[in-house]
């Protein structure tokens, strides 16, 4: 069995088999396993994998500086690889491609003149480079990669039986305690460990939370290092201030992002570029408020009102200096922050499940935690960190909009009460089975 089974492998196979395939850019944060998954994909689906890392081999720069001709580039790459690069049988991987703008630019020529070759690209800060690079529309494919989901965590932890059970639930009915209790305990573990592949690997192999904590600290230090390495000192300080302020932003009853909480007197124009840097680096998600809930939701983003969430629940725990026992045992000191913590988890799962960032919505002094557009439905979502059944906001929204379905994610059992469908937090990835 492959140790860390990632569902994105299915999407990579679709890309390989598509007759409309173009050079692929795999986007995602540092340390979420982009290189690992591309190599695994190549080894399982191709006769050979030609791997090139622009962070390690300076000779590659010269190659892409001297010519834009894909045939000449491929000839030189074959010499470096030591074998023939065969169209459709060799996967070409360009890693840390953001370090070589000429290589990024070459992708359009590969698409136009040598698209029979299969090229997949990744990089730890690829999103930053792409935000400053212009690609001709339609010349590359993009695929987003997220941290490991709860289901992927269960598979890594040898709990395939629980995953198979969740897959088998096709209608709204009570989940037996024997499954519910196990899934609840595993969810508590996921809240602590999160979905960074190396953290999951350490936990499943060692069951040592101190080692997990140490690894998470190292990731956070690496992120801080990226701030200073890839920006000016002034900009790095702003990025760091925003990044380290996120837990306190989430702790507020009103989680709307406020620049003045970063630093007294701070203005949007001073910190907007720093915030965008974090977003482009895939370290945060900006969840916009809606001016109205109508199709398409994106058309009604209020660009001045948004919340910020972190890319991984485990990193949020570590950034917040929360002891694992506080999270696992539900210490009263954790209760106030627990709602925000759970919201961040739900946001992470919704992003990976639907491959998009949801919205939120405020109206008449009420707030809907998340709003998603799915097929022909606009679905409001309420998040509860416990077993409360308070649905005032959902009820008011349904009345105002004549809405037929709304969802509450909580630790209550699977059930439907009128227009409100309660889905246990551990079943978020299977939401499609019920809507």
Q: How far from chain centre, in Å, is Cα 192?
A: 17
Distance CA 369, CA 361 (A): 7
Q: Return the CATH number at 50.
A: 3.40.50.300
**Does residue 321 lie in a domain region?**
yes
pLDDT tens track for 254-308: 899 999 999 888 999 999 999 999 999 999 999 999 999 999 999 999 999 999 9
Same domain, 132 and 274: no
Q: How far from chain centre, in Å, is Cα 353?
A: 10
Same domain, 158 and 267: yes
pLDDT tens track for 215-248: 999 999 999 999 999 999 999 999 999 999 999 9
Using CA atoms in the order 301, 306, 307, 309, what is the torsion angle rounded to 10 degrees? 60
Distance CA 307, CA 200 (A): 27
**Does residue 65 lie in a domain region?**
yes
Using CA atoms in the order 236, 238, 241, 243, what is the torsion angle rounded to 10 degrees? -70
- Is residue 231 helix, strand or coil? coil
**pLDDT-based confidence at residue 180 (cuts at 50, 70, 90):** very high
Same domain, 59 and 105: yes
Q: Supply the range of the domain harboring residue 210.
A: 150-433
The pLDDT score that the predictor gives to residue 36 is 96
The pLDDT score that the predictor gives to residue 1 is 36
**Does residue 2 lie in a domain region?**
no
Same domain, 108 and 251: no
Same domain, 325 and 298: yes
Do 314 and 194 contact (CB within 8 A), yes or no? yes
b/e map 240-270, b = 16+ CB within 10 Å = bebbebbbebbeeeebbbebeebeeebeeee
**Does residue 366 lie in a domain region?**
yes
Same domain, 178 and 286: yes
Residue 396 has pLDDT above 70, yes or no: yes
Same domain, 336 and 305: yes
Same domain, 296 and 201: yes
Question: What are the backbone dihedrals phi and psi of residue 132, each rounded to the nearest 5 degrees, phi first?
Answer: -115, 10
Compare 337 and 151 and report the one with higher pLDDT.
151
Same domain, 368 and 340: yes
Domain end (from 120, 144, 168) = 144
Closest CA to 275 of 314, 303, 247, 235: 235
**Does residue 1 lie in a domain region?**
no
Domain end (from 116, 144, 172) = 144
Question: What are the backbone dihedrals phi and psi of residue 118, each rounded to the nearest 5 degrees, phi first?
Answer: -95, 115
Paired residues of 378 in beta bridges: 373
- The pTM of this model reads 0.95
The pLDDT score that the predictor gives to residue 2 is 40
Tokens 């809907």: give the residue.
368
Residue 3 has pLDDT above 60, yes or no: no
Do 120 and 46 contact (CB within 8 A), yes or no? no
The predicted model gives 12-27 an average pLDDT of 97
The pLDDT score that the predictor gives to residue 333 is 63
Domain end (from 144, 162, 197) = 144
The pLDDT score that the predictor gives to residue 59 is 83
Residue 181 has pLDDT above 80, yes or no: yes
Q: How far from chain centre, in Å, is Cα 54?
A: 24
Compare 178 and 376 and report the one with higher pLDDT.
178
Same domain, 195 and 140: no
**Proportion of the chain above pLDDT 90, given as a percent:** 85
Do 404 and 421 contact (CB within 8 A), yes or no? no
Same domain, 100 and 158: no
Same domain, 246 and 270: yes
**Dihedral sign, CA of 181, 183, 184, 185?**
positive
- Cis before 296? omega within 30: yes
Do 3 and 201 contact (CB within 8 A), yes or no? yes
**Does residue 197 lie in a domain region?**
yes
pLDDT tens track for 40-93: 999 999 999 999 999 888 789 899 999 999 999 999 999 999 999 999 999 999
Name the domain count of the chain.
2
Do 186 and 162 contact (CB within 8 A), yes or no? yes
């Amino acid at each position: 069995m492959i140790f860390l089974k990632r569902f994105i492998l299915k999407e990579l196979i679709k890309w390989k088999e598509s007759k409309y395939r173009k050079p692929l850019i795999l986007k995602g944060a540092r340390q979420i396993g982009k290189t690992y998954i591309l190599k695994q994909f190549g080894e399982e689906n191709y006769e050979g994998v030609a791997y090139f890392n622009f962070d390690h081999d300076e000779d590659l720069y010269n190659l892409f500086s001297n010519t834009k001709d894909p045939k000449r580039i491929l000839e030189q790459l074959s010499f470096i690889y030591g074998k023939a690069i065969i169209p459709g049988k060799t996967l070409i991987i360009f890693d840390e491609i953001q370090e070589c703008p000429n290589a990024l630019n070459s992708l359009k020529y590969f698409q136009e003149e040598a698209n029979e070759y299969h090229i997949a690209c990744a990089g730890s800060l690829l999103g930053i480079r792409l935000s400053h690079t212009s690609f001709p529309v339609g010349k590359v494919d993009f695929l987003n990669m997220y941290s490991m989901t709860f289901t992927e965590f269960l598979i890594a932890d040898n709990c395939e039986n629980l995953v198979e059970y969740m897959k088998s639930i096709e209608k709204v009915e009570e989940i037996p305690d024997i499954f519910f209790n196990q899934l609840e305990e595993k969810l508590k573990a996921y809240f602590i460990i999160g979905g960074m592949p190396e953290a999951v690997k350490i936990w499943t192999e060692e069951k040592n939370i101190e080692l997990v904590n140490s690894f998470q600290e190292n990731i956070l230090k690496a992120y801080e290092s990226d701030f200073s390495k890839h920006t000016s000192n002034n900009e790095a300080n702003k990025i760091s201030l925003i990044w380290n302020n996120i837990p306190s932003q989430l702790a507020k009853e009103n989680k709307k992002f406020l620049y003045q909480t970063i630093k007294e007197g701070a203005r949007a124009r001073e910190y907007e570029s720093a915030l965008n840097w974090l977003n482009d680096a895939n370290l945060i998600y900006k969840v916009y408020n809606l001016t109205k809930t109508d199709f398409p939701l994106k058309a009604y983003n209020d660009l001045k009102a948004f919340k910020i969430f972190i890319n991984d629940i485990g990193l949020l725990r570590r950034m917040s200096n929360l002891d694992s026992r506080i999270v696992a045992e539900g210490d009263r000191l954790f209760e106030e922050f627990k709602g925000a913590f759970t919201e961040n988890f739900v946001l992470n799962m919704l992003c990976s499940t639907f491959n998009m960032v949801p919205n939120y919505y405020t109206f008449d002094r009420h707030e809907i935690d998340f709003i998603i557009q799915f097929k022909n439905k606009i679905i409001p979502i309420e998040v509860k960190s416990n077993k409360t059944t308070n649905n005032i906001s959902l009820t008011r929204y349904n009345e105002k909009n004549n809405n037929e379905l709304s969802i509450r994610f909580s630790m209550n059992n699977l059930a439907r009460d009128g227009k409100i469908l309660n889905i246990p937090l551990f079943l978020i990835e299977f939401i499609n089975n019920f809507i």
